[in-house]
Chains A and B, each alone.
Chain A
């Protein structure tokens, strides 16, 4: 079966202004709104569009996280994924271990394409897709803003600092999404009902034979230095004079 595997991470919603715990031991996540990482929604949307165009037969969403992460998988199923995999693990997991878990899921599911987000907006690591491609010994096309499949290959346009770069990769491959790849669909109520009947398989982390290891230990969390609020000027003249005085414009 031609299958696409999509990674979904549960993260603090992008609208939430996160706060550091007073003792600096972490960030406050209790009672905070959690969502699918925005880049992963884009990843899923892309997989669904490929399937809808006949380029794939099945879209499987997978997450590694606590039992609560079911909510995000259900949202993914409501968007249109066919099946969901929950690799249950309560603690934090470093990108290298996430990649190792995904490698196991790849062995199990044999996808021809894996789509992940380019970065999870909590830890902003931007590592997992590249690490997975390395461990799998397959191509990576990161920061994708366009993805075209043609037989055994994919042509991917990437958002790079210089502009847009196009690569051709042999499949299977790992693609990570950038913001402009697509605009994810909204979930409609009937789909949410239907999604409740779709298969969601739970796998304990240990059953996959991956033993996570802490290589990076956070020792302190702190808020960034705050900028001072400046002054309001009334006219463009006043602005230009102020900038001239500071030597910022000639």
Chain B
């Protein structure tokens, strides 16, 4: 039997949907019994949400003022303290999990499997490498603890309707003071979250300015879509960094992805491989984005986008 510990991602109030995807991944490990651990200053609200996820057997609250912000150096030794009783320790492959989980693995003197996209057995997993151009199946040493991050775009979120027990866990470890949270600047918007949105409209370098980029926001609002961007658009300052889609940005799986003025570099495409339908709007008929687009429209975005807005 496998005992899986999932480290919950949250902002102190709400459980991040990435955790429900980790639960689905964990479920595909044969015979898995799933525990979710919530590290927080006050874990009650988040723990209650985690307890509702189907197939979660137990939720552990690890409360400590030091857990107010998710500092990897502070959380990692606490995860290690809990990990003793588990065969697998999983976190999401979001910036939260990418930061934390390797620190956990190293403290356990074990390897990490990054970006798990499929589980083939207790010890065999598939993951993308080379910007998603290659998939590799790996075997992990039987007998050692398995630490992994879950590629959230590969799994559906676990449904609600469960009723796991919630317990407080006492963790006695010394926590470092060498790392301090200063601030986080999050652009607050009413638009859907890029990582979970059903529709996403992304813009590239072709938008030409932050001012022009705004026309994508109004189109997105008409569709109830989230907005994304290519690296070139973010580098140029047209869009904030948290909108970047791709190998080094967000990996997303919307039902509809509309790429506007994006060429379709492999580093960008790896972020949208799991999109159900891809639409490309680009003035260059040879742009690689058309190779993967379900619907392509060749033309000038500055004419097409206003027309689309009128039609929608």
Q: Show the binding face of A for B, using Cβ within 8 Å.
A: 12, 14, 17-18, 20, 27, 94-96, 99, 118-119, 121-135, 137-143, 145, 155, 158-170, 173, 178-180, 215-224, 227-237, 239-240, 242-243, 246, 248-249
Contacts and interface: CB of A to CB of B under 8 A. Distances in A.
Nearest to B178: A170
Contacts of B113: 216
B184 A179 contact: no
| Minimum-distance CB pairs A-B, first 10 | A230-B294, A131-B106, A130-B102, A134-B106, A127-B102, A215-B111, A163-B186, A166-B182, A170-B178, A236-B307
B103 A220 contact: no
B130 A121 contact: yes
Contacts of A222: 134-137
Given A239-B297, A243-B256, A229 B290 contact: yes
Contacts of A134: 76, 102-104, 106-107
Nearest to A230: B294
A164 B243 CA distance: 12
Contacts of B141: 215-216
Interface in B128-142: 128-141
Contacts of B199: 248-249
B184 A166 contact: yes
B241 A159 contact: yes
Contact-size category for B:
35 or more
**Chain B interface helix/strand/loop/mixed:** mixed
A163 B183 CA distance: 11
Nearest to A183: B235
A243 B255 CA distance: 11
Which of A99, A128, A248 is most buried by chain B, counting CB atoms within 10 A of its CB? Answer: A248
B311 A237 contact: yes
Chain A CB within 10 Å, residue with most, of B101, B248, B290: B248
A96 B109 contact: yes
A217 B138 contact: yes
A248 B102 contact: no
Contact of B293 (A145, A163, A230): A230
15 contacts: A14-B131, A18-B130, A96-B106, A118-B248, A124-B129, A134-B104, A155-B182, A164-B184, A180-B241, A216-B113, A217-B138, A219-B124, A230-B295, A233-B296, A249-B199
Contact of B134 (A164, A223, A237): A223
Contacts of A14: 131, 267
